[in-house]
């Protein structure tokens, strides 16, 4: 069973991810560019100002939780042991190479989401960053694309968790009863 801090940070991320995703959809609806928009029932905030407030509140909580996770992953050695060593096999306690690459990909997506988010949040103050993305609109599209890829990963992650009750119970802090 993962340590308590892993479980608490994981579920905090899950809740904040939903806030960020649904408020982001409401923000997207104010000026859609690839698809016509998201159904209001799937969005959070009710309007652009409301969605921005939810998005920024979620942003700060996600940033604080992410920093805490990073510090604890490094301090406990979990980052190196579980994600950075590309050792062989999957014995129930180690992640496979595919899992490690997927999680490193997610970390890369998160970095791009943060950078593109900063570029569209403060395009004047951080114009050098917006310029790296090709301008404000390209930074916005990069933000949406990376968030879409992260949402797809989360969808797969949830599906696999539901297919593996042992792991899901462990993340809930429960032990499976012996047969």
Nearest-Å Rg of the Cα atoms of the chain is 18
**Strand, helix or coil at 167?**
helix
Residue 4 has pLDDT above 60, yes or no: yes
Unique residue bearing structure tokens 């000026």: 31
For residue 83, being part of any structural domain is answered with no
Do 8 and 69 lie in one domain? The reply is: yes
Q: What is the pLDDT of residues 72-129, one digit of tens each?
A: 999 998 888 777 665 554 445 556 778 778 888 998 999 999 999 999 999 999 999 9
- Could you give the number of structural domains in the chain? 2
pLDDT tens, position by position, 45-54: 999 999 999 9
Domain coverage including residue 70: 1-76
Between 60-64, 126-130, 150-154, 173-177, the lowest mean confidence (pLDDT) is in 173-177
Residue 118: exposed, middle, or buried by beta-carbon count in 10 A (0-12, 13-18, 19+)? middle
Same domain, 10 and 67: yes
Regarding whether 72 and 123 lie in a shared domain, the answer is: no
- Outline where DSSP puts E strands in 17-164: none
Residue 129, CA distances (Å) to 109, 119, 121, 132, 162 in order: 16, 6, 11, 5, 39
Same domain, 101 and 68: no
Q: Examine the domain organization and report whether 9 and 53 are in the same domain.
A: yes
**pTM passes above 0.85:** no
In a domain, residue 173? The reply is: no
Pair 51, 100 in one domain? no
Main-chain dihedrals φ then ψ at residue 87, nearest 5 degrees: -60, 170
Q: What is the pLDDT of residue 89?
A: 45
Say yes or no: 70 and 104 in one domain: no
Q: Is residue 176 part of a domain?
A: no
């Amino acid at each position: 069973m993962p340590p308590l801090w892993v479980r608490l940070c994981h579920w905090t991320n899950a809740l904040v991810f939903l806030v960020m995703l649904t408020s982001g959809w409401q923000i997207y609806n104010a000026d859609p560019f690839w698809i016509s928009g998201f159904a209001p029932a799937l969005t959070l905030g009710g309007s652009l100002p409301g969605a921005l407030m939810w998005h920024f509140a979620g942003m700060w909580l996600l940033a604080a939780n992410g920093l805490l996770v990073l510090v604890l992953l490094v301090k406990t050695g979990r980052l190196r042991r579980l994600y950075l060593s590309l050792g062989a096999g999957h014995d129930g306690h180690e992640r496979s190479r595919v899992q490690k690459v997927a999680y490193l990909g997610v970390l890369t997506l998160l970095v791009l989401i943060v950078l593109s988010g900063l570029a569209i949040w403060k395009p004047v103050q951080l114009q050098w960053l917006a310029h790296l993305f090709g301008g404000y609109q390209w930074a916005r599209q990069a933000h949406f694309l990376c968030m879409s890829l992260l949402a797809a990963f989360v969808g797969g992650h949830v599906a696999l968790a539901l297919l593996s009750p042992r792991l899901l119970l462990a993340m809930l802090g429960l032990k499976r009863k012996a047969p």
